[in-house]
Structures are given as structure tokens and as C-alpha cells.
Structure 1
Amino acid sequence: MFSTLLRPKMKQHASKFQFDLLVIGGGITGAGIALDAVTRGMSVLLVDMQDFAEGTSSRSTKLIHGGLRYLKQMELKIVAETGRERKIVYENAPHVTEPERMLLPFHKGGTFGPFMTSAGLAMYDRLAGVEKSERRTMLSPEETLRLEPLLNREGLLGGGHYVEYRTDDARLTLEVLKKAAEKGALCLNHCKAEAFIYDREGKVVGAHVRDKLDNSRFRAEAEHVVNAAGPWVDEVRELDDVSNGKHLRLSKGVHIVISQSRFPLRQAVYFDSPDGRMIFAIPRDGKAYVGTTDTFYDGDPAKAAATEEDVEYLLKAANSMFPGVRLVRNDVESTWAGVRPLIHAEGKNPSEISRKDEIWESPSGLLTMAGGKLTGYRKMAEDAVDRIVRRYNGGTFGPCITRNLRLSGGDFDDPDHLENFIRGKANEAELYGLTYEDGLEIAGFYGTNADLVFRFAHAAGDGAGLSATVRGRILYAIHAEMAATPADFLVRRTGWMFFDAGRVQEEGSKVAAYMADLLSLSSEEKVKMLDELDLAIGQTAGLQGG
């Protein structure tokens, strides 16, 4: 049950049933907890006040990586754990995660030299359990430039070549949630937990929830409640009790997107910015994106956006490492800004604060999952659910099984089968009136869910100024992915808002009109939907003042 059209029925179930677990927050952390819990036999309800993955989980650097800078900070446990988790995420969802060879160039006077790079990457490989075929190689200046000719040649001493994993963070979160729903979890987006419910002993046993789409309310009861609200965890804790003195410190990270016609980047690069911060430049689907910044943020996490100062910082960093490109502000097609929930550490700047995760428990029994990284979501969920299982004194629920559980769309015996699967499905697409290219795009994006998208596209036909493929993807997003607004579809179901801004400008209003008709929205609701779309477009344009 993961369809927008079934929301009334889902809310009715949520209000009439006492769950084992209520999860507040539908980013990657909450999604992981819901999946882990439901596959152990728990009844699970998850609510998110926005769309799923609308916060940090759609606005990261979109990498599943261990993080070399944590090695520099000697956080060996984080490097080892997240390094191992990279491969697990890839094997369970190869259609949204793929190996990405990363180049780390080193220049005279830079943060990393040849010895530190070689030793660091070798330790990284060992800690992360990297397979022999994917271990680091050290390159001469000439070999480094052959991989990426755009690099600054002045003072170039060579480079290290190693493997990370690229992902679509929002899609990964959705595939986790879809799997949780398939296993029986009830997951509702755009539903805000506004107040907690307590029993006579003061234990938290649920929440009063408001559906922000129609303003209806329902009472959700559960034996246990987990706060996995990311940047909003302190806000949720304030509904209960903040007796634990620890709290979050928010950090904003910004990325810019540039067409490869202006920035013909061949190779993903991890490099020094002029002020010493490490920056990624990554090619993706005809674009190159650059990020991230790392500055403390005190505003509303839902309104985080790139400022002109952020954009200029990243342009300066890119032009320093790739001087021949001469990027300017008009080259930036879109931006995104994400807020990282860091556990406060006095006297440290954002780049120095650990990304480790912690579980906090209030006197009422509310569990809060704080901190953490996209890469480690599965292990974080396992730790949180283990804690809940211990409350039952064991025996009631099974062990964690998510290490070897394929996510929705990822039902492959071996990730290496993906390419053959995509080509096979592309040939089948013609049976549904689609082109071979349509089939490649759909199968590569949706994995083993491609057949359902094909059927929706065939049934949808053309109309509303949209192709059959787009109409089919919208239908699938509504019926199988809980998309309720154009921004849900254009940002988190497709990524077009970030990586195909021209398409959004051209088709965004048509998508909104088509969705409004499918959802039988009133004129007032249509206006609200378009206003929200305009706001999302404005946030990704990065036009706010510094």
C-alpha cells in the first residue's frame, strides 16, 4: 500500500490500529528503521511532515562513500563501517547505486601529497574491505592528466584513483520505503506529528498527526516511538522533553549544476579548494555538479537554499582546479542546498564535526536517532531496532535481515546482471509502444519495476502536452510512489529539478495540470500546488542574496 490514491484508507488504518513502532521522519534514516523493523515482524507506521526524502536525503552529494576526510580526522571506525556498508547498499540496489572511479589529484603545497595520498588510500581500502579489482592505484602527472585533461597542470604531482559509489539519494530512500511498504509498513508523507500521546506512567505511546494536504487529523498509537526527523529532531524532541543536554548543530551544503557542454568533465574528481576544503566535481547525465560548501546554518531547514556567495565560492573552487574552463555565474543551471544534522561539538567548525550517529532516549522512552551519514543508514537502523527489540527482552522479534535484502527495483541475483537486464527491457519497450531509448531510460532508472512503468506509459498515451513516457512515469509515481505534488515528482521522483532544469521550465506547469486532474484537485488546491512548484524552482535557481 504505497499509493497517493489510497491515503484516506491508509489514514483510517493508522488511526484504528496500535502499532509496535511509530517512526517520525521519512528520510533515509527513518526509511531504514521502518524497513528493518517490519522485516523483523513489527507492525510499523511512518509519518513525515513533508514528502519522503524532502530534507537532507534528497540534497546530499549523492555519493555512498566512506569519506576520506574522516580518515584524516582519524575516525577509523566510521571509515571502516561506512566503507563496508557501501558495498551492501550497491548489491541491494544496483539500479540506484553504481561504482564511480574517483580521482584525487595532488599538487605542490596541497592538503594531500603523494605519500599521504598513497598511504591514506591504502588504509581506506583495507578498512573498507575493498575488493582487489577496485583498490587504489597511484598515477603519475601524465597519467592523471590523461584521465582528466581539464585539471590544473601547475604544480601537479600526480593522483590517486580509487572507487566510491554514486547514488540518487532520494530514489534510494524511496526504494527503501517501497520495500518497507511491500513488507507491510504503513508510510505516509505530508503528515506531521504535532503532539505526543502518553500513558499514565508518562511513557510516549503515539502521536496526534495532521495531514498537511487536506488538514485532516488522526491519532496514531504505538508501543514505541522513534524520532528520525533529521534536521528537525530537536524540534520533535521539544514536543516531549529535552533532558538530554546534547543537541544538533545544522550545517548547510550547497551544490551547483553545469552543462557538460560548458564543463566537459570526464572523470569524477575530489580536490582541494583554495581555502583547503575538499570539493567534489562529478559528471552525471550530460551535466557536472560541484560541491559542497560547509557552513553553519540557523534558519528553517525547509527553506535552505544557495546564496550568491555559496555559488561564487564553488565557481572559484572549480576555476582554481579547472582553470581552462573559466566558469561564470550564467553557466550555473541549477543548485541545491541541503542541511546536515550534526551532533553539536563546542569550538569546532562544520567540517571538523563528526558524522557519527547516536541514539538518545528521553525519560518518556522516545528514541531519537541523531547524526549519521547516508552511507550508514542500514547499520544505523539495525542499531536503533536492536534497542527496541531489547525492550521486549528478546524472543518476540527476529534478527536483522537487511544486509542481504534486495530493495524495491533491485531484485537481481548479481548486480552485474543489471546491464543485460536494461538492454533486454529496452527491446521489450517497443511492445508497449515505446522506443528503445525510452526502454533504456526506464529500465535503468526503475530497475525491476520497469514493467509496471511500461504498462502505465502504454495506458496513458499522449496528451496534456506530455509524452507517453512522462505520463506513464507520473502515473507510476502517484500509484506506486506516493507522489502528491509536482515538486514530489520533479524533485524527488525524477531529479529533473536539479539535473534537467530546462525540462522543468518547459513541462513543469503541464506536469502540475496533469497531476491535478489525476488527483481531482479543486481550483484552490491547484493554485497552492503551482505556488509550491514556483517556490521549489526558486530555491534551486540559487538567486537569494548572500
Structure 2
Amino acid sequence: MSLSTLKREQIKHDLKNETYDVVIIGGGITGAGIALDASQRGMKVALVEMQDFAQGTSSRSTKLVHGGLRYLKQFQVGVVAETGRERAIVYENGPHVTTPERMLLPMHKGGTFGKFSTSLGLAMYDRLAGVKKSERKKMLNSKQTLEKEPLVKKDGLKGGGSYVEYRTDDARLTIEVMKRAEEKGATILNHTKSVHFTYDTNEKVNGIHVEDQINGETYPIKSKKVINASGPWVDEVRSGDYARNNKQLRLTKGVHIVIDQSKFPLGQAVYFDTEKDGRMIFAIPREGKAYVGTTDTFYDNDKTSPLPTQEDRDYLIDAINYMFPEVEATDDDIESSWAGVRPLILEEGKDPSEISRKDEVWEGKSGLLTIAGGKLTGYRHMALEIVDLLSKRLKSEYGLKFKKCETKNLPISGGDVGGSKNFEHFVEEKVKDAQAYQIDEDIARHFASKYGSNAEDLFKIAQTAQYQESGIPLDIYTELVYSIQNEMVYRPTDFFIRRTGKLYFKIDDVLEYKDRVIDIMTELLGYSNIEKVQYTKELQVAIDEAQSGNNQPAVKE
């Protein structure tokens, strides 16, 4: 058991009694990447997250590891080149959480892209992103475009472009990076909030004081350096430091909606421009659903639980009906939705979609290191950048020397499958292995595809679970026990949203089995009556928000 909830008290004991080279504030993909890079180099690493891992931005994205084709329109060539290279590394190191996905880019008369500009743009994209030959762009005529996706608007259709992006489970990508960091020696804990910094006699940051969000306990964590990787909360965290620059974040909100494929039978991922403002958005099939997004509006409200407004939902429904008129989607067809906040670096006078997604590292006089901005795809390179600086500071100030970054060729947890080319073969071999555990072939394939080289651990749990009177399906029970033992799940929302994604893509499972899952978690984790009531209400609020959003007006500038 690696990131085990059952070891929570032992982890807290270590955090209280050790002195670390670095403590990282923030358990999203950026913090996870930094923890992996630093621990792989041999640093003594601690990481705390005030909510659950990936609960903020890192579970609320479009769920693509992509090279950012739209950034070519803004001439952000460097962003496209870097993220293109990085997405290939992400795929190679974690093929169980990353899947190549052919995208269709339809071209219509009067639309954003013409034949020449599309062909040129995709060719540049292939070159900048270092796309391998089998995945390079293909230009299609109107007939071929409709063969790829018959639902696309036929009126004015001139053809299309086909290119490859990589679909991911953003929250699972984060947790797998976190698990590998723990295997490399990092001490990691969620539901633990950094409340203030501590300083030495020279006014240099030498640790943080934290509060356990489960039982209210407070304690200090001592470290030589502190990294603020708290995403949307970057400004709040560093406001507690006496030394800060004049930079600040500008938050924007992105909303996605999910519709069952019985209503929206999307067979092909489509990247298309909207009628209202010409923005480019995605429609992507996944697990019998089609999800569409994202919006891009300035946001100044609650970062902990951003919600779709009716205006957001209407915008996306209108976009669906513009590009896929036969669907005739309505607000009632939305099964679930989510909203995420992008922590972008303020650029005065720019619209939300125009603000650069580039990351920056800020170093205060106190020694506090902060990383802001960036994209999911570039998490590994962002970590390399800030840990290189961290390594220099630890050498100059403490005489410590560490290895260089080796994460380019380091599989994340579950990624020890012999490389992406071997992944399908690996899955089939695991399905055969599962016969010895008397596990259904479909369940075995699900475990192997989703958990990669960790699948054997789930097979062992499933074997014992066959005889449990759990009242829930074997796969759900197995994933629940595994996530408690290995992925630090403590609350039902941790499990249903970020470890399985069921709240978004299989909400019927959540509605049917939530009470029994909470009963089992109560048994395994020893919830008090107060905790059980609290977490039951918390899950119901999440269900209500996913199903209906809210009717707050969008923030106007």
C-alpha cells in the first residue's frame, strides 16, 4: 500500500518530525510533477493538499493532453512546440491514462478555417509538435468528413482536417504521478491545509504550519525550501509571505456538459468553431457519453466549487445545435456538468481566450518559490524548470548536490507496461492472467486498461471481494478498496469524482450505489456519525451541482 488512507497517522507523524529539503503546497498536477521530479533526484520531499488531490483545476479540464492547436491562431508558437513534445512524453510514460484520439476539424463556408489555412495550420502543428508519421494530419473532402462524423452540419461544409490529440483522465493522471513520487520517497498527504509560513532568524521561509481538514489538528512542517504550487490559490498562499512581486493571477472559468450518446450519438471527436463568437470547442465521445466544452469567461467567485451558470449551459447547447443540427439538444438532455478555473497570469486588456497559458516561476526575497500559469500537458517540463532552480538554491545555500532530472523516461505509477506500443498486448496478457483469479474478462480488461501495471493489485482485491456481501458490483467494490489502500481516498466525493469519474460519466452508478459505498467507507475508515452525515450531504451537493449547475449570472467585465 503506497498512498494509503490507513497510514494517515503515520504520515502525519513523519511530517511532524522530519526536516525536508522542500515542502510543496498544492496537490494538483503541477505539485505532483514537482514532487516526482524532486524525489527522483534524491531530495527529501513533503507535499500537502488542502482538499483532495486534483480537486481543483486538475480534475476539471477538457481531459486532453494536447498540443494546443488553437494557440497557433495567437502565434504562440513556443507553447505549441513545447506542449507538443511534452504530450508525447506523457503518453509514453502513462499509456493507461492517455489515449490517442483522432480529431475532426470541419471546415464550413464563412467559418474560422478555410482549406488552405487548415492544411497549413495542421502541417505546422505536426512539425512543431513533433507528431509521428502515423498520426499526422489528413485533409478530407466534404464526403469524407461526413463519413467520419455524419452529425456534422452539412450546410456550407467544404471538407475537414483530421489530426491526433491525446485523451486523458486528468485526475487519474495526477494521482498516478503522485503515487510514483511516493514510491520515490516523497511524504504526501491530502486534506491538509497550509495556513501560514514559518521563518528563520534571517526572515527566510523554513517551513509551513498546517491544519488537518479532517480533525482540525495543527502542526508545523520543517523544510529548507517551500514551493507554492497551489494553482488558483497561488495569490492567497503567497499573500501570507512578506515578500511578493507585483504579478498576479487572472482566473477564467471553463465549463463542460455531458449528454448520453442515445441523444447525441457522437462517434468521432470534433474540434469546431462556435457560431456565437467563433471560439473553438471540443465534442468528445467517452464511455457511452458525449461531452462538450469548454467556455472561457473571467471568474471572480468561489474557487473551491466553481459552478456552471445557465448562460454557460446555453452557450454549449447552442454550439452543439449549430454544428450538429440533427441532435436538437436541449438543456434537459444534460446529464452532468463540471466547471474548472484556469489560473492564468494577468495580462491587462486581453480577453480570456487571449491570455497566454505559459507558466512562470517567481522567487521572493524570503526564498519562497512560486509557480503560476501553465497547462496540464506541460506539467513535467514545469516541474523540471522549478526543481532545477530549487536544486541550485539547495546547493548554494546548503551545499547539497542532487541528480539531474530523469522524468523524461520515467513511467508514472501503473505505466510499467513496456511502453505505449506494447500497451494493448500488455492488457491482453493481463486479461489472461485474470483467469487465475476467476475474474470476468470485461472487468479484467477494465482494470488492466485503467490501472496498467497496478492491475494485479486489483485482481487480488477482486478475488476476495467475490465473497463479500457488499451490495455493490465487484468492479466498484474493488476500485473502492484499492483507492483507499493506495490512493488516499477519504471522502465519497474523492472516490466518485476524482478516482473513477463516475459523477460525470456514469452518474447512474453514483445514484444507485452511493449509500452502500458510504456504508462500506464507514466500516473501513471508521467514520463518526457526524462525519458520515457530513460526507453524505457533501456527495449530494456534488450530485446536485453536476446535474443542474446553478443560475448565477456570468461575471461581467
Out of 519, 529, 541, the residue aligned to residue 525 of structure 2 is 519
Within 5 Å, which residues of 2 pair with 1:114-125?
114-125=115-126
Confirm whether residue 328 of structure 1 aligns to residue 330 of structure 2.
yes
Is the 2:80–2:129 contact (alpha carbons within 8 Å) kept by the matching residues of 1?
yes
Within 5 Å, which residues of 2 pair with 1:210-225?
210-225=211-226
Confirm whether residue 376 of structure 1 aligns to residue 382 of structure 2.
no
Within 5 Å, which residues of 2 pair with 1:420-435?
420-435=425-440
Q: Which amino acid aligns with 1:8?
A: E
1:46-79 superposed Cα distances (whole Å, 9 cap, x missing partner): 0000000000000000001111111111111110
Moved more, 257-266 or 465-474: 465-474
Report how far residue 512 of structure 1 moved: 1.3
Report how far residue 235 of structure 1 moved: 0.7
Q: CA separation in 2, counterparts of 1:328 and 1:239?
A: 46
**What SS does structure 1 have at the residue aligned with 2:174?**
helix
Within 5 Å, which residues of 2 pair with 1:23-102?
23-102=24-103
Moved more, 170-179 or 233-242: 233-242
Name the structure 2 match of 1:401: 406
Moved more, 533-542 or 266-275: 533-542
Query: Aligned residues, how many?
Result: 546
Confirm whether residue 231 of structure 1 aligns to residue 236 of structure 2.
no
Q: CA separation in 1, counterparts of 2:432 and 2:130?
A: 38
**What SS does structure 1 have at the residue aligned with 2:377?**
coil
Q: Which amino acid aligns with 1:475?
A: V
Name the structure 2 match of 1:301: 303
Q: TM-score, normalised by structure 1?
A: 0.98
**What SS does structure 1 have at the residue aligned with 2:376?**
coil
**What SS does structure 2 have at the residue aligned with 1:105?**
strand
Name the structure 2 match of 1:412: 417
Report how far residue 419 of structure 1 moved: 1.3
Is the 2:238–2:244 contact (alpha carbons within 8 Å) kept by the matching residues of 1?
no
Q: CA separation in 1, counterparts of 2:163 and 2:438?
A: 42
1:17-36 superposed Cα distances (whole Å, 9 cap, x missing partner): 00001000000000000000
Report how far residue 242 of structure 1 moved: 5.6
Q: Which amino acid aligns with 1:337?
A: A
Name the Cα RMSD after superposition: 1.1
Name the structure 2 match of 1:448: 453
Name the structure 2 match of 1:251: 252
- Residue 207 to residue 241, structure 1, CA distance change in 2 (3 Å): same
**What SS does structure 1 have at the residue aligned with 2:113?**
coil
Q: CA separation in 2, counterparts of 1:179 and 1:455?
A: 21
Is the 2:415–2:453 contact (alpha carbons within 8 Å) kept by the matching residues of 1?
yes
Name the structure 2 match of 1:481: 487
Q: Which amino acid aligns with 2:99?
A: E
Is the 1:250–1:297 contact (alpha carbons within 8 Å) kept by the matching residues of 2?
yes
Report how far residue 432 of structure 1 moved: 2.2
Within 5 Å, which residues of 2 pair with 1:459-470?
459-461=464-466, 462-470=468-476
Is the 2:256–2:337 contact (alpha carbons within 8 Å) kept by the matching residues of 1?
yes
Is the 1:457–1:470 contact (alpha carbons within 8 Å) kept by the matching residues of 2?
no
1:422-480 superposed Cα distances (whole Å, 9 cap, x missing partner): 22222332332321111111111111100101111222333231123221111100000
Within 5 Å, which residues of 2 pair with 1:168-187?
168-187=169-188
Q: Which amino acid aligns with 2:435?
A: E
Is the 1:458–1:472 contact (alpha carbons within 8 Å) kept by the matching residues of 2?
no
**What SS does structure 1 have at the residue aligned with 2:532?**
helix
Report how far residue 98 of structure 1 moved: 1.0
Which ranges of structure 1 fall in alignment gaps of 5 or more residues?
none
Is the 2:198–2:206 contact (alpha carbons within 8 Å) kept by the matching residues of 1?
yes
1:265-301 superposed Cα distances (whole Å, 9 cap, x missing partner): 1110000011211110000111110000001110111
Report how far residue 416 of structure 1 moved: 1.9
Report how far residue 306 of structure 1 moved: 1.1
Q: Which amino acid aligns with 2:3?
A: F
Q: Which amino acid aligns with 1:279?
A: I
Q: Which amino acid aligns with 2:291?
A: Y
Report how far residue 349 of structure 1 moved: 1.0
Q: CA separation in 2, counterparts of 1:361 and 1:85?
A: 25
Confirm whether residue 504 of structure 1 aligns to residue 510 of structure 2.
yes
Is the 2:417–2:452 contact (alpha carbons within 8 Å) kept by the matching residues of 1?
no
Q: Which amino acid aligns with 2:486?
A: A
1:130-165 superposed Cα distances (whole Å, 9 cap, x missing partner): 111111111111111110100001111111101111
Is the 1:410–1:447 contact (alpha carbons within 8 Å) kept by the matching residues of 2?
yes
Q: CA separation in 1, counterparts of 2:114 and 2:180?
A: 44
Name the structure 2 match of 1:436: 441
1:492-543 superposed Cα distances (whole Å, 9 cap, x missing partner): 1100011001111111121111111100111111111111111221221233
Q: CA separation in 2, counterparts of 1:444 and 1:66?
A: 24
Moved more, 423-432 or 530-539: 423-432
Within 5 Å, which residues of 2 pair with 1:129-144?
129-144=130-145
Name the structure 1 match of 2:267: 266
Confirm whether residue 111 of structure 1 aligns to residue 98 of structure 2.
no
Q: Which amino acid aligns with 1:521?
A: Y
Moved more, 433-442 or 72-81: 433-442
Q: CA separation in 1, counterparts of 2:512 and 2:131?
A: 44
Report how far residue 362 of structure 1 moved: 1.4
Which ranges of structure 2 fall in alignment gaps of 5 or more residues?
553-557
Confirm whether residue 126 of structure 1 aligns to residue 127 of structure 2.
yes
Is the 1:83–1:127 contact (alpha carbons within 8 Å) kept by the matching residues of 2?
yes
**What SS does structure 1 have at the residue aligned with 2:312?**
helix
**What SS does structure 1 have at the residue aligned with 2:436?**
helix
